[in-house]
Amino acid sequence: MRILYLDCGMGAAGDMLMSALLELVPDKDKFVEKINNIGISNVKVKLESSVKCGIKGNHVRVLINDEEELSEDVQNSNELHHHNHTHHHAHYHATIDFIEHTIQNLAVSDKVKNDVISIYKLIAQAESKAHGVDVSEIHFHEVGMMDAIADVTCCVMLMEEINPDKVVVSPINTGFGKVKCAHGILPVPAPATANLLEGMVCYSGNIEGELCTPTGAAILKYYVNEFGNMPAMIMEKQGYGMGNKDFPVANCIRAILGEKTENNSITESNNDTNQNNRTIENSDTIQDTIVELRCNIDDMTAEELSFAVEQIWQDDVLDVYTTPISMKKGRQGTLLNVMCKESAKEDVAVTIFKHTSTIGIREYKCSRMILNRKIEKVSTQYGDIDVKKTYGYGVEKSKLEFEDLKKIAIENNISIREVKENI
């Protein structure tokens, strides 16, 4: 499996993503030449070397009529920000239909056109929600529009060239503070960016300034399969896409391309201990994001709460459990926790409100790490029994399936302990 890992510890902008991905293609100069000949009017992409905190990488400048548009953070408006904004100057504005027409006339494949349009529609929908107007009424100013079209189209072309089977993205640093745009001074992340980041793993960090743009967020949203740390894989290539601005931390996105096969094994050597080298088979692990719903209850009987939990289990949930807690006025209460996928949270919330007395539910997005698992059958004197095997993170575990043990115990009129001892 071919995996692309994107480290977004300093946010995400279209030009930074493009710069990082360019490092992964065989001939980046030839690819830039190809980009400059697809027919984006008055736009030229220029590739430059850049060094941030001693790390060398690429910086791509998107020039419109030989000028680069720049945006400003409120706290440091005299410096160059690390990306471009869609709204900045008072120029001609274009609708999403005009943008779609522009993209359809580019000299790229139909797949690239469709992907670019899909990403731009994500941006338009986010802007629509932020401004409270229909998508058809959203207007993009001419300079920022061509800049973003270049960023998105180039990233899509690069993704087509790299062709990963899976895209894993680190939690995205949004930055914090305020940013200037055509509508005035906005909080970071800007409203449209925040809309795009819904359902994605992100954090504000300790860097003041806008680190994640609508264009960067939309590109990641379109391609990401999973959020988390870099999975176990054989690294083939890596690239650094640099921003304009300087921070105490290297202002870049790192793209890493690697290969993972079903039979990957990693040999770990530790020279500081007496342990021998060890090989961890199937060291790949699973990381994803889930939703945890919580509510405090102090006015339901044990029977009523038990019934509510049974009903919640009927939904598409991962886990349901209760914890005794002390509430106001010293009353004994119960904390109800339900874990589920993002896609199931609305249905689960309906069930909680219907079958419990709560009038409010708290929602938390959680990253989780999971061991891989598989079921194998083993032959015993009682017949075949399922064994659940879990592995990853350098460990392996196995456990006899309890339902099989229970069935054998009942059929043979013995205890489960005796079944285990006999097996």
By the 8 A CB rule, do 210 and 116 touch? no
Question: Is 266 inside a domain boundary?
Answer: no
Which stretch of DSSP H or E encloses residue 364?
A: strand 362-370
Q: Give the whole-angstrom CA distance, residue 416 versus residue 181.
A: 68
Which pLDDT value is given to residue 285?
55
CB atoms within 10 A of CB 133: 12
Q: Are 311 and 234 contained in the same domain?
A: no
The domain total for the chain is 3
Burial of 193 (0-12, 13-18, 19+ CB in 10 A): buried
CB atoms within 10 A of CB 372: 15
Question: Is 209 inside a domain boundary?
Answer: yes
Q: Are 361 and 416 contained in the same domain?
A: no
Q: Return the amino acid letter for 318.
A: L
Question: Is 43 inside a domain boundary?
Answer: yes
pLDDT tens for the 423 residues of the chain, in order: 899 999 999 999 999 999 999 999 999 999 999 999 999 888 899 999 999 998 999 899 988 887 776 544 444 443 333 344 444 333 446 788 888 999 999 999 999 999 999 998 999 899 889 888 887 777 765 435 778 889 999 999 999 999 999 999 999 999 999 888 766 788 999 999 999 999 999 999 888 999 999 999 999 999 999 999 999 999 999 999 999 888 888 999 999 999 986 554 443 333 333 333 333 334 445 667 889 999 999 999 999 999 999 999 999 999 999 999 998 888 899 999 999 988 889 999 999 999 999 999 999 988 888 888 888 888 999 999 999 998 888 888 999 999 999 999 999 999 999 999 988
Q: Are 216 and 334 contained in the same domain?
A: no
Q: Are 41 and 169 contained in the same domain?
A: yes
**Strand, coil or helix: what is 18?**
helix
Beta strands in 54-117 (DSSP E): 55-64, 93-94
Phi then psi for residue 39, to 5 deg, are 100, 25
**Strand, coil or helix: what is 62?**
strand
By the 8 A CB rule, do 230 and 254 touch? no
Residue where a domain terminates, one of 241, 259, 277: 259
Phi then psi for residue 114, to 5 deg, are -65, -40
Q: Taking the mean position of all CA atoms in its chain, how far away is CA 378?
A: 39
Cβ within 8 Å of residue 145, ≥6 positions away: 86, 94, 99
Which stretch of DSSP H or E encloses residue 122?
A: helix 110-131
Q: Are 109 and 179 contained in the same domain?
A: yes
H helices of 9-141, in order, are 14-22, 28-35, 96-104, 110-131
Question: Is 293 inside a domain boundary?
Answer: yes
Q: Are 302 and 411 contained in the same domain?
A: no
Q: Structural domain of residue 388, as residue ranges?
A: 372-422
Question: Is 85 inside a domain boundary?
Answer: yes
Q: Are 350 and 313 contained in the same domain?
A: yes
By the 8 A CB rule, do 420 and 405 touch? yes
Which stretch of DSSP H or E encloses residue 142?
A: helix 142-162
Q: Are 199 and 343 contained in the same domain?
A: no
Q: Are 91 and 186 contained in the same domain?
A: yes
Which stretch of DSSP H or E encloses residue 311?
A: helix 302-313
Q: Are 11 and 114 contained in the same domain?
A: yes
The dihedral built from the CA positions of residue 188, 256, 215 and 192, taken in this order, carries a sign that is negative
